[in-house]
Amino acid sequence: MTNDQRRRILIFSTAYYPFVGGAEVAVKEITDRLVGSFDFDLITARFEKKLPPVEKVGNVTVYRIGSGKPKLDKIFLPFRGAVLASKLNKTHNYFCFWGIMATFASGAGYIYNIFRTLNGKKKIPMVLTLQEGDSENHLQYKWLGLISLSWKLALRQTDLLTGISNFLLHRAEKNGYKGKSFLIPNGVDFSLFSKEISDQDKLSLKNRLGKKEEDIFLVTVGRLVHKNGVDDIISATALLPENISLLVIGKGDLGHNLQKQADSLGLGNRVKFLGFVPYSELPKYLSVCDIFVRPSRSEGFGNSFIEAMAAKIPVIATPVGGIVDFIDDRGTGLFCSPDNPQSIVSAIKAILEGNSLRDSMVQNAYNRVKGSYTWDNIAPEMKQVFNQIEQ
């Protein structure tokens, strides 16, 4: 067995580029920084017919499975992925498997290992990274408890566990995990989000968005789903002065309902749904905004928060899930309450009326992200996890 073969890792991720969320960004940022230490292959669902079945993305060779029909591609991914993993392993003799979340794709790695052990072969070590931001209620009762069951089964077959927050590591313990675990948070492309945006670019974007001198822009970034609480921000906006508007960046299943909510409250001109914004463009949008707000109902970590913190925007959040790992109330941000628009209003007013509070929170948040949440700091921590695998 050659050294290259011994150091090749097969990743299982239900989605991957060009479909981008916190987990997908984490995989790419970490693997890009581990060039020379490991080679990476990745199995994912195809989701769109136009996407190539095999493609190199950064330091990862991506294998897409399916016909381009999202629901079917997800359902069959664990089984088709196990077959492909078997085929790829014959060529590459993988050092370990790396599952991204206890979901469809990771199931392929576990299924393949079950068949290996049934055939008298040693299983390939499995590293599982928990990135999930779903609520406890979702975990326990969605799909008649099948999600909870899949978690427990996956954790039993996991050799090393990483979680992006203490909240997720504790959840794993409650679901029966007894092995080694490591806190490896998500990070931020600090050079991208902390860079200075030119006055000309800011002015151009302000004009495009219709921002006047006296206007205040709130901003939220993320999927338009129940857990991210965008409905509560819209309700809060209706309680604020008319010079305060909300930018909603992201897409999701609730987009139409949220638009209807804004219209019914007479906020058609004050709530601006911008849809998808390319990742590289996000710092420009953040630079023309005044307060970042995301009143999450549940959260595994929350990359959008640390991106706003790196961009030096004051952050309003809820003390749920992994958020408490990096936000201290009145230290690096302000807390509001879930399902409580009035508490969002109070937090916004506290920031607008207290310049010294705002300035100290912004600087503290910036320093925290720079010191603890850059990918250059996080990638070596993941390398140490892989190096602990026993062969």
DSSP 176: T
CATH of the domain at 31: 3.40.50.2000
Same domain, 314 and 229: yes
373: CB partners within 8 A, 6+ apart: 185, 186, 187, 188, 190, 306, 326
Same domain, 158 and 240: no
Structure token digits, residue 116: 């290996």
Whole domain around residue 240: which residue ranges? 190-372
Structure token digits, residue 138: 């979702």
- What does the pLDDT profile of the chain (391 residues) look like in tens digits? 344 444 899 999 999 999 888 899 999 999 999 998 999 999 999 999 999 999 999 999 999 999 999 889 999 999 999 999 999 999 999 999 999 998 899 999 999 999 999 999 999 999 999 998 776 675 665 655 566 677 788 899 999 999 999 999 999 999 889 999 999 999 999 999 999 999 999 999 999 999 999 999 999 999 899 999 999 999 999 999 999 999 999 999 999 999 999 999 999 899 999 999 998 999 999 999 999 999 999 999 999 999 999 999 999 999 999 999 999 999 999 999 999 999 999 999 999 998 899 999 999 999 999 999 999 999 999 999 999 986 5
Same domain, 311 and 206: yes
Q: How many domains does the chain have?
A: 2
CB atoms within 10 A of CB 5: 13
pTM: 0.88
Q: Are 378 and 185 in contact (CB under 8 A)?
A: yes
What angle do the packed helices 70-92 and 104-118 form, to 10 degrees? 40
How far, rounded to the nearest angstrom, does the alpha carbon of residue 296 sit from its chain's CA centroid? 13
Same domain, 200 and 291: yes
Of the candidates 30, 26, 31, 52, the residue with the CA atom closest to the CA atom of residue 41: 31
